[in-house]
């Protein structure tokens, strides 16, 4: 396995077990899943109960705009794609080009907004907006893409270290 060093098998590396899972599908699923996990990490029951309140939706959108949540998600996906290209050199560049074309901050936000609605009350969202409008909040927004990218690299290294010890 190019990812973990073990012989390719479904338990260790389902991405590369092409006889069981089509490679393009499994890579696409892995990248999208990882991107969603990264983006949803900071994410009121009103979503489950019906339509999202329009004012709350507007405030969540404002929070997303302030924090650049959709763009951070796309940046995280770009980093993940770069890592996957290295780990999976047999995947043609054309796949990655087409995959990248499909990434959209707006589409990602459609998936993230309900998560914020589910986990945060409208007053909490308003407090977050206030925070992100402060100097400290603005700094957090500025450094978050670097923290996210470095966290992904650290997590990848951590996973490889664990895999090596587990051999």
From first CA to last CA, the distance across the chain in angstroms is: 13
pLDDT tops 70 at residue 16: no
Taking residues 115-142, what's their average pLDDT?
95
pLDDT, one tens digit per residue, over 80-94 is: 788 788 888 888 888
Give the predicted TM-score (pTM) of the model.
Answer: 0.57
- Residue 118: per-residue pLDDT: 93
Please write down the HEC assignment for all residues of the chain: CCCCCCCCCCCCCCCCCCCCCCHHHHHHHHHHHHHHHHHHCCCCCHHHHCCCCHHHHHHHHHHHHHHCHHHHHHHHHHHHHHHHHHHCCCCCHHHHHHHHHHCCHHHHHHHHHHHHHHHCCHHHHHHHHHHHCCHHHHHHHHHHHHHHHHHHHHHHHHHHHHHHHHC
- Residue 33: per-residue pLDDT: 52
Taking residues 136-151, what's their average pLDDT?
89
| Confidence grade of residue 133 (pLDDT, cut at 50, 70, 90) | very high
CB burial of 141-154 (b: ≥16 within 10 Å; e: otherwise) equals beebeeebbeebee
| Confidence grade of residue 52 (pLDDT, cut at 50, 70, 90) | low
In the predicted model, what is the mean pLDDT of the chain? 73
- Residue 44: per-residue pLDDT: 37
């Amino acid at each position: 396995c190019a990812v973990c060093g073990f012989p390719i098998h479904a338990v260790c590396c389902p991405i590369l077990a092409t006889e069981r899972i089509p490679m393009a599908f499994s890579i696409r699923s892995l990248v999208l899943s990882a991107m969603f996990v990264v983006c949803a990490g900071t994410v009121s029951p009103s979503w489950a109960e019906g339509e999202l309140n329009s004012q709350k939706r507007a405030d969540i959108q404002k929070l997303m705009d302030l924090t650049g949540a959709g763009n951070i998600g796309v940046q995280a996906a770009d980093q993940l794609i770069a890592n996957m290209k290295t780990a999976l050199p047999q995947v043609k560049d054309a796949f990655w080009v087409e995959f990248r074309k499909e990434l959209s901050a707006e589409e990602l936000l459609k998936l993230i907004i309900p998560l914020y609605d589910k986990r945060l009350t409208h007053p909490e969202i308003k407090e977050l907006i206030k925070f992100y409008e402060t100097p400290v909040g603005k700094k957090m927004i500025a450094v978050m893409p670097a923290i996210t990218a470095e966290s992904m690299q650290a997590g990848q290294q951590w996973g490889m270290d664990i895999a090596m010890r587990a051999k």
